[in-house]
């Protein structure tokens, strides 16, 4: 593989995904800040020296910078901490400047500006899901048997891998979810099942085994189990109407956020290994792999990554949006901002913590995902 192909297949997809997600995040900050009357000085994709840019009528400099690994929105007065008398004396803002200064906005407005970045990432994920469900369709498993569990009701009834379940007690089965619903509601009941096998219909009789499930409120529910595993390769995409697509997209975004938080909680308490945590190198690798699967797969990956980015930025760590929100909550409770010294120490701690987390994630990429040290060891030995 020549250098151009290597860059095109691996670097370009990563930079595309990262740049889009950063733009969406920063656009959230920008849009709410403008609504609050804050003057935006710079909107940059990337850091470092400017490569290309232009200044709009509002005086905002929109630009691409040399290091495309992030971005930022620079707001007028953002560096002036409220209550910092030395800073206020040094700048001596006019009344007109105070009107467009971020630091002189109400705490609720500042909090809204900060929260808008992560919220924009969640909204972007929802929009991507809606587009996919409306145009491409949402994936649904066909009622195809991929595996028959040993000593199950399905094995006793004579089910075989490759069977397509057509009906149960005369009720048509269109999707695998229909099969689950029929079986779950009839524990211990003998059912007449029709399957399609090798182009011919076969009649089977199955009695789902009874499984009891504790509902957590002192009651026990009886659920039927057949003992078949779906063939995950047998999928059809069904287009959703706009209303259903929106509801489904919101539900998926909320559910995925809960799963990510649960996953992180399991790592913290030691139930899962932190080796699974990936960093920028892993994201770059996955971007390249997903891009080869087509634009739809890339959209899905971007939606998932956007949710991760939104959650990460809401963590209560100084330097991240969540850390700023903690300071604003404290300010709202106290009736005045935290002292500049406390905020400075907080940001220093946050910077160190974020830096350590980046090192940890990159170490995981090199050791567990790319196995660089095993490769080097193999070269030596």
Do 269 and 131 share a structural domain?
yes
Do 292 and 222 share a structural domain?
no
Do 332 and 191 share a structural domain?
no
Q: Rounded distance, CA 180 to CA 184, Å?
A: 6
The residues pairing with 141 across neighbouring beta strands, listed in sequence order, are 235
Do 284 and 167 share a structural domain?
no
What's the Cα-to-Cα distance from 115 to each of 155, 258, 289, 335, rounded to whole Å?
A: 54, 19, 32, 20
Q: Rounded distance, CA 159 to CA 248, Å?
A: 33
pLDDT of residue 218: 67
Q: How many domains does the chain have?
A: 2
The region of weakest confidence among 8-17, 202-211, 304-313 is 8-17
Do 335 and 319 share a structural domain?
yes
Do 161 and 129 share a structural domain?
no
- Whether 286 is covered by a domain: the verdict is yes
- 232 versus 63: the higher-pLDDT residue is 63
- Whether 51 is covered by a domain: the verdict is no
Average pLDDT over residues 291-310: 84
| Helix orientation angle between 295-314 and 280-292, rounded to the nearest 10 degrees | 160
Average pLDDT over residues 143-167: 93
Is pTM beyond 0.95? Reply is no
Residue-wise pLDDT tens digits, 325-365:
999 999 999 988 888 888 888 878 877 877 777 776 666 65
Q: Give me the CATH number covering residue 160.
A: 2.30.42.10
Burial of 333: CB neighbours in 10 Å, binned 0-12, 13-18, 19+: exposed
Do 82 and 111 share a structural domain?
yes
Do 270 and 220 share a structural domain?
no
Do 336 and 279 share a structural domain?
yes
State which residues form the domain around 270.
3-39+76-136+261-380
Given the structure tokens 């797969």, which residue do they identify? 297
Catalytic residues: 26
Do 167 and 115 share a structural domain?
no
- Helices and strands, number each (H, E), in the chain: 13, 12
Do 349 and 304 share a structural domain?
yes
- Whether 214 is covered by a domain: the verdict is yes
């Amino acid at each position: 593989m020549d250098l151009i192909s290597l860059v095109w297949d691996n670097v370009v997809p990563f930079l595309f995904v990262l740049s889009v997600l950063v733009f969406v995040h920063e656009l959230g900050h920008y849009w709410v800040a403008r609504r609050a009357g804050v003057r935006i000085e710079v909107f940059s994709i990337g850091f470092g020296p400017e490569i290309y840019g232009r200044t709009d009528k509002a005086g905002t400099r929109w630009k691409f910078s040399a290091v495309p690994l992030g971005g930022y929105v620079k707001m007028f007065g953002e560096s002036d901490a409220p209550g910092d008398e030395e800073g206020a004396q040094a700048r001596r803002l006019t009344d007109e400047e105070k009107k467009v200064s971020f630091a002189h906005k109400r705490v609720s407005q500042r909090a809204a500006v900060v929260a808008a970045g992560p919220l924009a990432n969640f909204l972007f994920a929802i929009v991507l899901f809606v587009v996919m469900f409306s145009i491409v369709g949402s994936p649904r498993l066909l009622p195809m048997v991929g595996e028959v569990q040993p000593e199950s009701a399905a094995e006793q009834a004579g089910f075989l891998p490759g069977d397509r379940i057509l009906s149960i007690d005369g009720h048509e089965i269109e999707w695998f979810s229909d099969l689950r619903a029929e079986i779950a509601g009839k524990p211990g009941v003998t059912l007449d099942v029709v399957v399609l096998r090798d182009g011919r219909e076969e009649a089977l009789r199955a009695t789902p085994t009874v499984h009891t499930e504790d509902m957590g409120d002192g009651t026990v529910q009886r659920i039927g189990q057949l003992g078949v595993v779906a063939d995950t390769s047998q999928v059809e995409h069904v287009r959703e109407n706009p209303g259903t697509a929106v509801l489904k997209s919101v539900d998926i975004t909320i559910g995925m956020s809960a799963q990510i938080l649960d996953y992180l909680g399991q790592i913290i308490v030691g139930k899962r290994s932190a080796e699974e945590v990936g960093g920028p190198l892993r994201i770059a690798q996955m971007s390249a792999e997903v891009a080869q699967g087509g634009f739809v797969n890339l959209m899905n990956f971007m939606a998932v990554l956007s949710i991760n980015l939104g959650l990460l930025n809401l963590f209560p760590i100084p330097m991240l949006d969540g850390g700023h929100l903690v300071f604003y909550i404290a300010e709202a409770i106290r009736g005045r901002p935290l002292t500049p010294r406390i905020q400075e120490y907080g940001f220093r701690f946050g910077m160190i913590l974020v830096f350590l987390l980046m090192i940890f994630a990159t170490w995981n990429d090199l050791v567990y995902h790319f196995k660089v040290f095993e490769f080097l060891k193999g070269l030596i030995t």
